[in-house]
Amino acid sequence: MEIMKKSLTLILLFSSCFTFAQVTFTADIAPIMFEHCTKCHRQGEIGPMPLTNYQEVMANASMVEYTTSIGYMPPWRPDHTYSTFRDENVLSQDEIDKIALWITEGMPEGNPADLPPFPEYIDGSQIGTPDLVLTMNEPYEHQGTMTDQYQVFVLPTGLTEDHDIEAIEVRADNNEICHHAILGIDTTGTAQLLDAADPEYGYTQFGGFGFDPVDQFFGAWVPGTNPMTYPPTIGKKLFANADLLIQMHYGPTSVTQTDQTSVNLFFSDDPIQRYVRTYAINPYNLDELFFIPANTVKTFHGTLQIPFDVSLIGVGPHAHLLCKSFEVYAVSPDLQDTIQMIRIPEWNFNWQGFYSYPSFIHLPAGYTVHCYATYDNTENNPFNPSSPPQWSAWGEGTEDEMYLCYIQYVPYLNGDEDIVLSAANHENVMVYKETQLFPSYPNPAAIEVNIGFSIGNSKETSLDLYDAQGRWIRTVFRSTKPVPGLYREKLNTSDLPSGTFYLKLQSGDHVSGRQLIITH
């Protein structure tokens, strides 16, 4: 009897454990789909089928299990254990296991009350009202022949003066076919000539723009990524009389469809002090010829010496169909420190993007960047455009290859590490980790000066102006409760004498200062 009782409690215990552990759609699977899949897998988006409810996921269950178990979906190519990026979309092992277990257990739907709300997807700009919207002149017709198409469109800005840009947002018009976009800036009219020479709207160009425009990396977009935003006083320059170039990759479709994509540009409120620069590691960084013989697997190793301290914003490796993998890192002169920049263990031409870090990465002067790329020019490479394999070298055609790694950066300033560009996998808002006083602008100032600062969670904060003798002049900002965030204040200086002044920010334990010069 005693034994019976024991085993009964055991059974009860066991079965209650079992119910507890049961994986259901509403409680376990839907949250995974909503967080990681439905931004592409819903009506009108690039994912080939919707995965928005129980029926849709059940109908594709084995494919869902397969693609998630091999790491093919969600399509995040960089190794997320190597380096962290903004908008990272990867499943944890626990989530992958849950999907598999749910299928093994017969795909129970679960309690409808457990179902989380379907995510709200913003239609239109995600970051406010743009200052300039550039739209393709006419719709481009992408043929329903199940082939990829790479087309460059030339959008005149019509601006006769230079403009400072703080955010760039690509608004793909037809999300069912838009696979990626790379933006460039041309001031020479070369792209217009290439467009005129092509009978269709825009001109066909497999990789890049067909020439080197003045800014070959103005911006980039792939489905599911947020607009590129820069912190105050950092941004891009849009040159006067420029053409904006969009290199668009359209994915295969069985029905002919049109696209008329727009780009939203946001002018900077604060004049830009540090322009975002791009360097592309290229075959000149190699110690050998960029040549890939037929029937070989070949790894190229390029190096780049960092000439002055820089703050890295992001990286974008670029190659074509023979490429298999990329790895980029920087090493200190004494070889004691390594900064891992990006590793793409399985290169996929269709899923290349530009990857931004959640906060600046400081690359000190003297460090060496190493960029390894491996190419498989054998029959084993299913993407090999030639059968039998042919030798390949630098070029923009489908059979040609490329070895590029774009590096976006600004010159380093003290404290850059504390500026959080965006949390990984979160909204596109900028989060400031710590209290900071930004450089004032203009400096020297005459009538008015812009003062930017961020504060954390401290109880009391004050920002005051002192003169050269340390005498208090006036308060710029004061709070006696925590008010974390980013602030921009304008200070009228017209009534102050010419001379050297000092701004002092105090917040909790933090004290920092910056010199301000006033000249009339």
Minimum distance from residue 87 beta carbon to ligand HEC (Å) = 10
Cα–Cα distance between 369 and 280 in angstroms, integer? 12
Indicate whether 29 belongs to the interface with ligand HEC (CB under 6 A).
no
Q: Which region among 42-50, 106-114, 263-271, 491-499 touches ligand HEC (by CB under 6 A)? A: 42-50
Pick from 68, 247, 268, 359 the residue near ligand HEC by CB under 6 A: 68
User: Whose CA is closest to 249, among 354, 145, 148?
Assistant: 148
Q: Answer whether the bond into residue 307 is a cis peptide, omega within 30°.
A: no
CA distance 485 to 432: 7
Determine the distance from the C-alpha atom of residue 249 to the mean position of all C-alpha atoms in its chain, rounded to a whole number. Answer: 17
Burial (Cβ within 10 Å: 0-12, 13-18, ≥19) of residue 257: middle
Does 78 help bind ligand HEC (rule: CB under 6 A)? no
| Cβ atoms within 10 Å of 484's Cβ, excluding its own | 15
Closest approach, Cβ 268 to ligand HEC, in A, equals 29
Q: Which of 323, 282, 348, 317 is nearest to 148 (CA)?
A: 348
Q: Are 436 and 454 in contact (CB under 8 A)?
A: yes
Q: How many CB atoms sit inside 10 A of residue 123's CB?
A: 7
Residue 23 touching ligand HEC (CB under 6 A)? no
Supply 106's token pair. Answer: 């017969």
Q: Residue 394 CB, nearest distance to ligand HEC (Å)? A: 27
Please report whether residue 177 would count as binding ligand HEC according to CB under 6 A: no
Residue 205 corresponds to which tokens in the numbers above? 């160009």
| Site string (135-174) toward ligand HEC, x via CB under 6 A | ----------------------------------------
Q: Which of 24, 25, 29, 47 touches ligand HEC by CB under 6 A?
A: 47
Q: What tokens were used for 407? A: 């590096």
Which residue from 23, 24, 30, 41 is in contact with ligand HEC, where contact means CB under 6 A? Answer: 41
Please report whether residue 63 would count as binding ligand HEC according to CB under 6 A: yes
- Cα 280 to Cα 173: distance, rounded to the nearest angstrom: 29
R_g over Cα of the chain: 27
The one-letter amino acid at 245: L
Sign of the alpha-carbon dihedral angle for 10, 11, 12, 14: positive
- The stretch near ligand HEC (CB under 6 A) out of 73-81, 144-152, 198-206, 508-516 is 73-81
Contact 311, 409 (CB under 8 A): yes
Cβ-based nearer residue to ligand HEC, 74 or 389:
74
> Is residue 181 close enough to count as binding ligand HEC by CB under 6 A?
no
The residue from 29, 30, 73, 445 that contacts ligand HEC (CB under 6 A) is 73
Residue identified by tokens 């190519």 is: 77
Least Cβ distance, residue 383 to ligand HEC (angstroms): 12
Cα distances (Å, whole numbers) of residue 40 to 47, 53, 89, 178 = 5, 14, 12, 11
In degrees, rounded to 5, the angle at the alpha carbon of residue 182 between the alpha carbons of residues 176 and 186 is 135
When asked if residue 317 is in the footprint of ligand HEC (CB under 6 A), the reply is no
Indicate which single residue of 37, 181, 182, 518 sits in contact with ligand HEC (rule: CB under 6 A). 37
Distance of closest approach, residue 26 Cβ to ligand HEC, in angstroms: 17
- Applying CB under 6 A, the site for ligand HEC has a residue count of 22
Position 67 contacts ligand HEC (CB under 6 A): yes
Site string for ligand HEC, 334-363 (x = CB under 6 A): ----------------x-------------
Stretch that binds ligand HEC, among 72-80, 287-295, 307-315, 414-422 (CB under 6 A): 72-80
Structure tokens at 41: 């897998």
- d(CA 73, CA 67) in angstroms, rounded, equals 5
- Is 86 a residue that touches ligand HEC (CB under 6 A)? no
**239 and 214 in contact (C-beta within 8 Å)?**
yes
Note whether 42 binds ligand HEC by CB under 6 A.
no
In the bound state with ligand HEC, the residue whose beta carbon lies nearer, of 172 and 371, is 172
Check whether the bond before 232 is cis (ω within 30° of 0).
Answer: no
Stretch that binds ligand HEC, among 67-75, 330-338, 470-478, 483-491 (CB under 6 A): 67-75
The answer for 202, left when phi > 0, alpha when psi is -120 to 50, beta otherwise, is: left
How far CA 319 is from CA of 121, 293, 408, in Å, comes to 32, 16, 17
Residue 40 within binding range of ligand HEC, rule CB under 6 A: yes
- Binding residues for ligand HEC restricted to 201-260, rule: CB under 6 A: 223-224
Q: Does 263 bind ligand HEC (CB under 6 A)?
A: no
Shortest spacing between CB 128 and ligand HEC, in angstroms? 24
* Contact call for residue 70 and ligand HEC (CB under 6 A): no
**Least Cβ distance, residue 430 to ligand HEC (angstroms):** 23
Exactly one of 27, 28, 36, 403 binds ligand HEC (CB under 6 A); that residue is 36
With 0-12 CB in 10 A as exposed, 13-18 as middle and 19+ as buried, what is 73?
Answer: buried
CB of 203 to ligand HEC, least distance (A): 25
Q: Which is nearer to ligand HEC, 92 or 519 (CB)?
A: 92
Stretch that binds ligand HEC, among 38-46, 233-241, 302-310, 373-381 (CB under 6 A): 38-46
Q: Tell me which residues touch ligand HEC (CB under 6 A).
A: 36-37, 39-41, 46-48, 51, 60, 63-64, 67-68, 73-75, 89, 91, 223-224, 350
